[in-house]
Amino acid sequence: MSAQGSAEGTVVAIDGPSGSGKSSTARGVASARGLWYLDTGAMYRAMTWWMQHHRIDVDDAAAVAEAAGRPDITMGTDPADPTVRVDGRDVAREIRTREVTAQVSAVSAVPAVRNRLVAEQREVIARGRRRAGGIVVEGRDITTVVAPDAAVKIYLTASAAARADRRSGELGGDVGAVQADLVRRDRIDSSREDSPLTQTADALELETTGLGLDDVVAIVLELVDRAGGSGAAQTAGEGRAESSAAR
């Protein structure tokens, strides 16, 4: 077992392309084992929402970098009710709009944004290990940059067609347009200079195209249990703790 699978608490790291099932799988696993849950994509979305709300031109990397330290982003880590607050405002819905989705890849390519959010993600991970017996974290650079020593490292995939089908089933919209948007984001997220989405040799690839969500969660749970991960240290209410990324 690696350092992050020790008695101090298990870290489960899940990366993968857009719509591959990271959030659903991570929440299912965290709920089943009483672990915290961190959606790092929601943090990049929250940063993007704040930039738009403050009329900062997200295509101006220097302006984005200069403003990157200003929003207070607070993540709730309960897998049953993950919350996202920016400067105290609940933005859970607003960060999922088409406007945010269209610009989040540009904002997340700015190194000052990544430096800030990665540091905050590591703080939440450290708290989750201490207080809940572990944490399931999902995003694009968790297995490679944020928590490379995680006890369980997974690269979750599915065909672009399957991902578009699932996403349009959830949110509606033309499947072809949804697929084009997923592919566009994958291209930007995989080709940026700073912490691109990549699959490393030590991350287990889990191809989910023909698998239902319950099957995927069961496979990951088996890996977690083999690594010795459960949230035995968790007490009632701790999973609801909000981890202010800024403090």
Ligand X SMILES: Nc1ccn([C@H]2C[C@H](O)[C@@H](COP(=O)(O)O)O2)c(=O)n1
Q: Are 51 and 68 in contact (CB under 8 A)?
A: no
Q: For residues 115-144, which are near ligand X according to CB under 6 A?
A: 139-142
189 makes contact with ligand X (CB under 6 A):
yes
| Residues 6+ away with beta carbon under 8 Å from 100 | 45, 48, 49, 52, 94
Task: Give the count of residues interacting with ligand X (CB under 6 A).
Answer: 14
Instruction: Kindly state whether residue 41 participates in binding ligand X, applying the rule CB under 6 A.
Output: yes
Closest CA to 110 of 52, 53, 188: 188
Partner from ligand X, ligand ATP, none binding residue 213, C-beta < 5-8 Å depending on class: ligand ATP
Chain centre to alpha carbon of residue 171: 19
Q: 134 among the known binding-site residues?
A: no
Residue 133 touches which of ligand ATP, ligand X, none (CB < 5 to 8 A by kind)?
Answer: none
Between 67 and 143, CB nearer to ligand ATP: 143
How many residues of this chain bind ligand ATP (CB under 6 A)?
17
Indicate which single residue of 21, 34, 128, 229 sits in contact with ligand ATP (rule: CB under 6 A).
21
Tell me if 19 contacts ligand ATP by CB under 6 A.
yes
Q: Choose the binding region for ligand X from 101-109, 176-184, 210-218, 224-232 (rule: CB under 6 A).
A: 101-109
Buried b or exposed e, range 13-37, using 16+ CB within 10 angstroms: bbbbbbbbbbbbbbbbbbbbbbbbb
In the DSSP assignment, the letter for residue 223 is H
Among 5, 9, 12, 23, binds ligand ATP (CB under 6 A): 23
For 187, residues 6+ apart whose C-beta sits below 8 A from its C-beta are none
- Identify the residue among 172, 212, 236, 247 touching ligand ATP (CB under 6 A): 212
Q: How far apart are CA 110 and CA 118, in angstroms?
A: 12
Q: Does 179 bind ligand X (CB under 6 A)?
A: no
Q: Are 32 and 212 in contact (CB under 8 A)?
A: no
Which residue type occupies 5?
Answer: G
- For residues 157 and 16, the answer to whether their CB atoms sit within 8 Å is yes
45 binds ligand X (CB under 6 A): yes
Site membership for ligand X, residue 185 (CB under 6 A) = yes
| Residue whose CB is less far from ligand X, 108 or 157 | 108
Answer yes or no whether residue 27 interacts with ligand X by CB under 6 A: no
Identify which range of 86-94, 107-115, 117-125, 208-216 contacts ligand ATP by CB under 6 A.
208-216
Nearer to ligand ATP, 193 or 214 (CB): 214
Separation CA 120–CA 129 (nearest Å): 14
Confirm if 53 and 100 have CB atoms less than 8 A apart: no
- Site residues, ligand X (CB under 6 A): 18, 40-41, 44-45, 104-105, 108, 139-142, 185, 189
